[in-house]
Amino acid sequence: LMGHRFGDLDSIGSACGLAGAVRLMRKPAYVVVSRQSCLATQLIDRMEQFEDGPRFMEPREALGQITDNSLLIIVDTHNKDILESAELYQAARYVIVIDHHRKNVNFIENAVIFHHEPYASSASEMVTEIIQYFRLDTEISAAYADALLSGIMLDTKNFVSKAGVRTFEAAAYLRRLGAETSDVRKYFNTSLSDYQQRIKLMASAELYHGCAVASTNQMIED
């Protein structure tokens, strides 16, 4: 599973949640993420503490292990220009896309399944809906539910923006699985507004002599 190169809580949270469901189907699943540019390292560190947590893999390692039978699931983006690893996408024979952003001209056109729902609040909301249709012997653990809830809380600004009936139904399902908003808030190492500003700042960065450069006139806490 792979998201976009900024690796925010919705991207990593939805990938973790889906990986947890896939592992319950007794299939190997890996979340591909570059920690160097990831904005959700606290979530990753937390998930790695659990015995049944997902396995994380750097893009270079994943590129060395992908085969013709591998399935690459891309979450929280459909834009080829901002993938975590364009090389991994190009090497994948089978690709599934799960995204809620408005469709743009650089969309992935060779996906075997292109699940695009612009009215959903987040990729985590979409994944939460999807896994409820999986025929599993048991539910995902509370740790995975926390990961999915963190993505929903980020993209809805704590259920203030873009939250609809489906959003609250997804959140209620995650709460039944043991997700706790108090635990999820720990994944935001700054205030929610500052966290979102960091994401916007990274998204606006441009390459200059091999370095990513971005500017802002707002104060962001360290």
86-101: per-residue pLDDT in tens? 999 999 999 999 999 9
CA pair distance 31, 176, nearest whole angstrom: 25
Let me know how many helices (H) and strands (E) the chain has, helices first.
Answer: 9, 7
Residue 42 banded pLDDT, cuts 50, 70, 90: very high
Q: Is 69 helix (H, G, I), strand (E, B) or coil?
A: coil
- Which residues contact residue 64 at a Cβ distance below 8 angstroms, ignoring those fewer than 6 apart? none
Give the contacts of 161 (CB within 8 A, at least 6 positions apart).
Answer: none
pLDDT of residue 194: 59
Residue count of the chain, please give it. Answer: 222
pLDDT of residue 146: 96
- Tell whether the model's pLDDT for residue 199 goes beyond 60: no
Q: What is the tens place of the pLDDT at every residue in 207-221?
A: 555 555 555 565 444
Q: Which residue has the tokens 């503490």?
A: 49
Rounded Cα–Cα distance for residues 188 and 195 (Å): 7
CA distances from 57 to 26, 49, 65, 124, 131 (A): 19, 15, 10, 20, 22
Q: Are 153 and 184 in contact (CB under 8 A)?
A: yes
State pLDDT tens for residues 44-67: 999 999 988 999 999 999 999 999
Give me 61's structure tokens. Answer: 């390692």
The residue type found at 150 is S
Q: What is the pTM of this model?
A: 0.85
